[in-house]
Structure 1
């Protein structure tokens, strides 16, 4: 996609002598600036100053950009910058920024005309100098920055960032290079790179950043205008399209743009395979008040309402999936704009299911992301949805003769007020993503199963101590003891014999849920549900042991005790604990607990686990 890019960093033009003397002089000149902690004043380049240990001041000219990988804490000292659509100015607190190599790199862009009106140059210089002094920037660094200062520039403080989540993620060898770009040749490493590397970020080519197509710009402008208008109701924006077309990135960009104008945005996650704010397998409604400056594992949060579906694909039980979406959507109060993310399954029954969801949610805008020459998905115009039958709803042509199922029950239909299937009213916005490999699901940057593992690890990282220190392995943490009689069990994806239910539960990832019915167990045997409930999920945990003598489950979870008191049901699905957690248990001698190659794969339900979860997949960072 064509991108709006600022001038790139380059060396100054040289005269006719391009040989050894000129090169040696340049290296010595650059080295002298590196010793002083500053990048040489290259025409069109960035100015980066070492402000303190693990901190740097970055000066960007108007509309100048920096595309990078890595992580840091960003604070705008003067002027303003844009980062993934969010405008960061000097009155805002420091923001954590995450740009791992698994996703497109983030780009900082200095915004023009950010200086206060009526202020003269002297006042602006005083304000910039005072801001640096207030954040303990070294005097020598302040002098060097002010030598390059201009009234229209942006001045940023970048600090090294270390969080419990990232510390835990990076402690696993397959994830240790999560924030590292492909190795650069030594000859291309500049003093500027050294200053930025001391903070934890690495400059990369703008081609690795978000490329915004013209159709995307036009759609965003119309959506922002609709959401900021006060006389047209609250918009409900549904984003759909095939896999690997940038739906999740578009949603983050849209939410960040909306947060420039609104205090909050609601987000309905209907993609159970690649969730934004929760571990995979969930449908959730989230209240978003902070910008999204990183991929999903960096902003896991407690949703306003969440239901655990238990699988990463809904093909096995589409009817229960629709019931789950309907249950979560019922909590939306229509007070702020809602952004709806949908699955990339848009072929065959997937497209029909999407039509059902459109009728259920009754959006005001549909953003259809599509690639050229894609034949499987027709334009979802109001007329198309009006005349096309879904999996469980009828189009206009069948509305007059309501058909009955073989068992006499009526076909599934939306609830009252959830949308009129006979008269959809919405604006269709068509987006053609033009980044490399758009729509090619087999050529994704990172396999979807790895992204799901990273999201689960991000959730488990909340178990770590908030203070900087050594990473604690999960088996060293104290679990909760849960009596058999206190919770009911249910395996959602397959039938398991009651005698094998505890074997399935042990060492498994479970949803911690609450069913309305009171659980009355006898204590000697597990309480089993005969049907999968559509109920609130309060969080997730790992069943790390079962005590048959004391009739106890041992559950490890970051959910606080006040919420755990409400949990009375454990749901087990196909979402599994990442392999690196099981095979990387520190201090284990001999056989590793819960890991074995001597396993009977003829047991019902084990084949899918063998195929999906216990086949070793290495994390590779050389994809950018």
Structure 2
């Protein structure tokens, strides 16, 4: 083996000295070079030298260079084997750096490269991490690789009536349950990797689930485990706890043996209809079931529909693994019943920032009754659709990706885009208004009566701030302003995946403190809050074939198909989360609300790039098929819009309502706009057909519509009833809309008479002069 630099030097030396060197007494095993396969191309800065051409014999193999040169590389660890038989070895050596490591290839600049539409403005190729994080965390750099290479994800061996008990009707009545339930006894050596949906409760002992420790209680936790996100693993936490809600009086004779077990859980069927979202968005079809390549390593030992146990890893299934740096940071969180902490999570895209924010929130819920979650990442929001900053008061742990728990925000402001690039001032004003609301109304709530049954703290509420992944240029300035507004007590900096070609400067090398966290010399003087440097985790969704755009589309579709209680309104400490989905009908078959613009709307505002160019006569065409934010404003804070000839109150070049005096209650889809008509007052008016899952009390408050840059995904326009997974539709189903009659879609080639309707031809061979 030989490094790339040494291989090139050996090839040049062999060209200048055609004489054959003497072989050493013993064969050298540290060098195996075939000069025929070594590149002879010279770099740009290398001087050309005359070549000495000598006749050589056919099939002759040039021996190894001089032995004294080979001794320098005997103990070298960074080696590569140059023994390829490919004729063009230049491409191999060009992808290797000076240390023999494989360097990432970057695509040349091209004007046809698509623009990222997320708040994470940087492309993966633009990430420049200054140093290799594996040197900081040598034991965890290959954490997920080791987890994937493990022989088994689940070591639990189910044995009926010994560690797995199927409850009959009599036993269900003793537990006060009605749905199908299975009791499982887990030891410290057992691990269970779940796939699917279920309700889970800890009956005895403690359970570790995705970095969260659950104690015995009557609370049933909803678990969503699709293949598009890391799969949860159930383990006995090992913490000493004698809590149990089991008693011999409620147990039959065959169940009394579970009282001697360390951890006892119940797994219950969970019928929510979330699996039907895969029928609407075909990218996620069958994510709650094992794929056909996984069926040999999947079992269903719990006799519960919709839940499976994964025994062996695969490329489509990745188990959740908590890195030690994350575990250390969670254990360092101090709990106080006097002062609530503010935890801010920063980091670039695809580094696990949102996953850690969810894990931290679940960890805090083990000590606090409520946790406030401020979502600043408008590209991939946790509880709401993208395009809005929101403040949610969470009271129960969340186990599942974002599309499995759509929640009505307690306080929110509509931005209208998945990036704050077009209106950064409104983005910062909205975040500032939410932080002020938290400080004044939420941080120290007024508790009339203390609940002695729940030992968790309830008179203070901590705050978790999840920032966006746009960490350069304007995004870095916005994140810096968010740091100043939040005044964090704990800062968690998730590093980007390491790249060795970017050496780290001495001023940014983190150093450990006495608390186990890591401080940066550049930021130590600016902030007194402890800064925890966290290692990144593998992007599980990308490895499984799901992009950020796929998750945004799924989140919006999940929101529009979610079923919220019709009379539920989120209060100051209330949480309203959808528990079921209506996926029997597509959006084109759902009856819409009919809104009279003259009676129900005060104003229509357009925001985003190009909105100032929309004239009054074109507002009906702009709203047709658009996603709008429903904004409720305080009386007297906004001026009424001018009623145009289309019957819609719209004023050109107007700004959104001020965040301190307004709040976004949700989003809606304008499915159609009627032609203008003359109302009783003599003014023109129009009707809007809107689709929204919001409860009726919230709709009555929203009298301002804000239209941004967001659009409904194509999956939401289609009628999936005509085709379902290659099978014929059931005769009882309502006939779907024909493909050619779907609104807002044009199939096939456009009309030749329309200028610009042809498909644009993109040239990808254009380069700058410096790239030639």
Same fold (TM > 0.5): yes
1:367 aligned partner: 492
Q: 2:746 aligns with which of 565, 589, 596?
A: 596
Does residue 158 of the first structure (1) align with residue 307 of the second (2)? no
**1:79-118 paired onto structure 2 within 5 Å:** 79-112=205-238, 116=242
**1:300-315 paired onto structure 2 within 5 Å:** 300-315=406-421
2:530 aligned partner: 427
Contact 1:64 1:110 in 2 (8 A): yes
2:622 aligned partner: 504
* CA distances 1:399-429 after superposition (whole Å, capped 9, x unpaired): xxxxxxxxxxxxxxxxxxxxxxxx6432111
**1:71-470 paired onto structure 2 within 5 Å:** 71-112=197-238, 116=242, 127=246, 131=250, 143=254, 149=258, 151-168=260-277, 170-184=279-293, 187-188=296-297, 193-195=300-302, 198-205=305-312, 208-223=318-333, 225=334, 228-230=335-337, 233-333=339-439, 334-335=443-444, 336-371=461-496, 373=498, 384=522, 424-433=527-536, 435-436=537-538, 446-463=546-563
Partner Cα separation in structure 2 for residue 326 and residue 70 of structure 1: 39
2:650 aligned partner: 528
Q: 2:640 aligns with which of 493, 501, 519?
A: 519
* CA distances 1:262-281 after superposition (whole Å, capped 9, x unpaired): 10111111001010110001
Which protein, 1 or 2, shows the higher relative CO under an 8 Å CA cutoff with sep ≥ 6? 1
2:167 aligned partner: 51
* CA distances 1:499-521 after superposition (whole Å, capped 9, x unpaired): 32221211121111134325365
Contact 2:358 2:398 in 1 (8 A): yes
* CA distances 1:89-131 after superposition (whole Å, capped 9, x unpaired): 44222221101111111111123356538xxxxxx9x946655
Contact 1:166 1:461 in 2 (8 A): no
Report how far residue 60 of structure 1 moved: 0.9
Contact 2:365 2:395 in 1 (8 A): yes
What is the root-mean-square deviation in Å for CA atoms of aligned residues?
A: 3.8
Give the 3 Å change call, closer, same or farther, for CA 40–506 of structure 1 in structure 2: same
Report how far residue 208 of structure 1 moved: 2.2
**1:548-567 paired onto structure 2 within 5 Å:** 548-550=675-677, 551-567=686-702
TM-score, normalised to structure 1's length? 0.73
Partner Cα separation in structure 1 for residue 156 and residue 580 of structure 2: 42
TM-score, normalised to structure 2's length? 0.60
Partner Cα separation in structure 1 for residue 607 and residue 616 of structure 2: 14
Give the 3 Å change call, closer, same or farther, for CA 189–291 of structure 1 in structure 2: closer
Helix, strand or coil at the partner of 2:559: helix
Helix, strand or coil at the partner of 2:437: coil
Contact 1:67 1:203 in 2 (8 A): yes
Report how far residue 299 of structure 1 moved: 1.8
Partner Cα separation in structure 2 for residue 216 and residue 329 of structure 1: 26
Helix, strand or coil at the partner of 2:701: coil
Structure 1: which 5+ residue stretches go unaligned?
13-37, 118-123, 134-141, 388-422, 612-624
**1:1-40 paired onto structure 2 within 5 Å:** 1=140, 2=143, 39=159
Does residue 471 of the first structure (1) align with residue 587 of the second (2)? no
Partner Cα separation in structure 1 for residue 193 and residue 351 of structure 2: 21
Helix, strand or coil at the partner of 1:538: strand
2:576 aligned partner: none
Partner Cα separation in structure 1 for residue 615 and residue 305 of structure 2: 56
Give the 3 Å change call, closer, same or farther, for CA 132–284 of structure 1 in structure 2: farther
Give the 3 Å change call, closer, same or farther, for CA 261–450 of structure 1 in structure 2: same
Partner Cα separation in structure 1 for residue 154 and residue 533 of structure 2: 35
**Greater gyration radius:** 2
Partner Cα separation in structure 2 for residue 582 and residue 297 of structure 1: 19
Does residue 575 of the first structure (1) align with residue 701 of the second (2)? no
